[in-house]
A and B are shown apart, each in its own frame.
Chain A
Amino acid sequence: MIQIKNLHKSYKMGSSSLHVLKGINFSVKEGELVAIMGSSGSGKSTLLNILGMLDIANEGSYFLDDIEIKNLDETRAAKYRNQFLGFVFQSFNLINYKNAVENVALPLYYRGINRKERQLQALNFLEKVGLKEWSKHLPSELSGGQKQRVAIARALVSEPKVLLADEPTGALDSKTSHEVMSIIQKINNEGKTILVVTHEKEIAAMCKRVVTLKDGIIVEDKKIKQILLK
């Protein structure tokens, strides 16, 4: 599903430049649930952003579902993001003046699907994360865990090939973290490819494979025995 070779990324900081990713080689097969671990500054978020086409690598190749991702202009990148990727962010990033179902329906709007169909599909996915009754609530009327579940529904509604989650539990307590992770596991078991960036060992242990980054290179890449949540 994902193949990256010799990926380099550096940021210009005034006169000096900060080399964040120093040659990443990494691939993900369909249906995997991968945790990308590392302390802050290890480059894990940068890697995720490049995978999410939100950022562009300086060097190296990136294939997503056998399509080479390179020389993207913003319009193409937007289309690819919409078609191939679902995002879950640490701070949920729901649009605060749209209610749950409208938030979930947003990616479908940019795909050009009509309103009725959007509502229908969005409600379906809200049901999947157990929030059908909350569909008319604004984000401010939802708890952190509920917000993240809405965000997951939004990421899934466009039927992406890969779900990218950047510290999905970073803003949640352990109980709600487990709720969210159990949903992620459920979706993964249905066959979705998922990448989770985290710095928590406990969260990583709930995945099927753990990739550890340190100072811009992969120091460890191993399959683990997944701790399944009920």
Chain B
Amino acid sequence: MNSLKMFFDIEVWKEIFGSIKKNKIRTIITIIGVLWGIFIYVVLSGSAKGLDNGFERQFRNVAMNSMFVWAEATSIPYDGFKIGRFPQLKLQDVEILKKRIPEIKYIVPRNARGNFSGGSPANIVRGNKYGDYAIFGDYPEFTKISTQNIYDGGRFINEEDIKGNRKVCVIGERTQSDLFEPNEDPIGKYVRIDNVFFKVIGVLVFRQGSPFDSDSDVFIPFTTYRNLYNTGDSVDWFNIAAYENANVLKVEKDIKQTLKFIHRVSPLDKKAFGSFNLGEIFNRIIGFARGMTFLSLIVGIATIIAGIIGIGNILLISVKERTKELGVRRALGATPNEIRNQILLESVFLTIIAGIIGIILASFVLAGINLATEELKDFPYTNPTVPIKYISLALFLMVTLGTIIGLIPAQRAISIKPIDALREE
């Protein structure tokens, strides 16, 4: 009987089940070792994946490889200019940057007042309610870099708003609650921003992207902003997203060098332009999550290996215990191959059963953790899953190792001569 045929022979399995069933404690102890291994593996890698997903969720409203660039004061005298000059970013910079740095996917100029950029906040009045709020001049492309969720019925600034210098605004959640009645729909209503009437076109769902974001921010078209505050071609800062496969650090450096060239700043000046690179920070976090995944892989596989060595160990003891039985079987006509295959199949079968139970238990635990953390919005943990690919890999690894480990007791079982086996008391 060759071993493959044996694998599909119901009689062989009945014999194996018999032996497994009649040695319950041994079977259970054996199973627990591997079960624990695969359990740890699945729970750990599922959790790592959950962490990964969680980070991704937290960052999902921001392009992963985006950055802000703004101008500061020069620190090196250059080209006839004194030290301490404030270069001014211009709308024209956009085209030059795009042309020079092909890695740039989106570049969005933004203006703001009433927050970190200085300037007085916009005074917004509606009826007898009023307040001072930070105000932004924006292009619609801004949403491509940083997703802006608008409550149902509203919208963000669009191309037509820009072209027509329309007096429309998107307000924040708090602005809405400050200026409108609780059950009042603000869409289509008018508010007065610094004495100019604006039509409300949307309410922004607040999501903290950067520390400067506030739930009371007000957004108006860039062109309208320019007219309202007389900013000309000046830009406070650029929001820039690079293509996904671009090296964000290099892009950041190139952008600054180009800006230095445009604005006649020394190429060696480190302080003239400031930047904040989300991509780099994001890469670090992703790196951390990857590290966790890798760690869980190592720990999980090590535990599985330990479990399988345990199976080998217990089967070795079991073979010793069953020396006489195996001797009797051989006296009755069992060939060494049949004995070897029986022990091997026992090992593989136990491994598979333990593996499957472990995976099921781990899935329950992961589902439990998922349920428990679902409510926690700030906790970066979402949808902990283990790809079926990894599970298959783990199972494959287990079966392979189970076979290899099983060979040791199996070989031992047939190395004992039947005569010696029978003599053993």
A positions within 8 Å CB-CB of B: 49, 52, 54-55, 74-75, 78-79, 81-83, 87, 89, 91, 93-98, 102, 106-107, 109-112, 114-115, 154, 158
Given A89-B422, A95-B328, the answer on whether A79 and B18 have CB atoms closer than 8 Å is no
Q: In the complex the two chains form, is B18's CB within 8 Å of A110's CB?
A: no
Contacts A74-B414, A97-B19, A97-B22 given; does A107 touch B333 at CB 8 Å? yes
Q: Cβ of B333: which chain A residues have Cβ within 8 Å of it?
A: 78-79, 81-83, 107, 110-111, 158
Which residue from chain A places its CB closest to the CB of B10 in the assembled complex?
A115
Q: Which of B328, B336, B425 contacts A75 (CB 8 A)?
A: B336
Across the interface, B331 reaches (CB within 8 A) one of A87, A97, A109, namely: A87
Bound complex: CA A97 to CA B22 (Å): 6
The docked-state distance in angstroms from the alpha carbon of A44 to that of B329 is: 23
Known: A54-B419, A97-B19, A98-B18. A110 touches B336 (CB 8 A): no
Residues in B with CB closer than 8 Å to A95 are 325, 328-329
- Please give, as numbers and ranges, the residues of chain B lying within 8 Å of A111 by CB-CB distance: 333
Task: Give 9 closest A-B pairs by Cβ, nearest first.
Answer: A82-B333, A97-B22, A110-B333, A54-B419, A78-B335, A107-B332, A75-B335, A93-B328, A74-B336
Give 8 A-B pairs besides A75-B336, A93-B328, A95-B329 with Cβ atoms closer than 8 angstroms. Answer: A54-B422, A75-B335, A78-B334, A82-B333, A87-B331, A102-B18, A110-B332, A110-B338
**Measured CA separation A183–B397 after assembly (Å):** 54
Name the B residues within 8 Å of A75 (CB-CB).
335-337
Encode contact with A along B302-339: 1 for CB under 8 Å, 0 otherwise: 00000000000000000000001101111111111110
B25 at the interface (CB under 8 A from A): no
A155 nearest CB neighbor, chain B only: B332
Once the chains are docked, how many angstroms separate the CA of A147 from the CA of B109? Answer: 95
Which residues of B pack against A, CB within 8 Å? 1, 11, 14-15, 18-19, 22-23, 324-325, 327-338, 414, 417-419, 422, 425
State how many angstroms separate the Cβ of B342 from the closest Cβ of chain A.
Answer: 11
Q: How far is the CB of A45 from chain B (nearest CB, A)?
A: 9
Q: How close is B338's CB to chain A, nearest CB, in angstroms?
A: 7
Across-interface contacts of A154 in B (CB, < 8 A)? 332
A-B contact count (CB 8 A): 73
User: Which of A75, A78, A112 has the most B CB atoms < 10 Å from its CB?
Assistant: A78
B residues within 8 A CB of A109? 11, 15
Give 18 CB contacts A-B under 8 Å.
Answer: A54-B331, A54-B417, A54-B418, A74-B330, A78-B330, A78-B333, A78-B335, A81-B330, A82-B332, A97-B19, A98-B18, A98-B22, A102-B18, A109-B15, A112-B1, A115-B14, A154-B332, A158-B333
The answer to whether A106 and B332 have CB atoms under 8 Å apart is: yes
Is B419's CB under 8 angstroms from A49's CB?
A: yes
Residues in chain B near residue A102, CB distance under 8 A? 18
Residues of B contacting A83 in the complex (Cβ-Cβ under 8 angstroms): 333
Residues of A within 8 A of B338 (CB): 78, 110
Residues from chain B with a CB closer than 8 A to the CB of A107 are 332-333
- Of B11, B332, B335, B337, the most chain A CB neighbours within 10 A belong to B332
Shortest beta-carbon distance from B267 to chain A in Å = 83
CA gap between A225 and B113 in the complex, in Å? 126
Bound CA span A222–B10, Å: 50
Nearest to B421 among chain A residues (CB) is A54
Instruction: Give the chain B neighbours of A55 by CB distance below 8 A.
Output: 417, 419
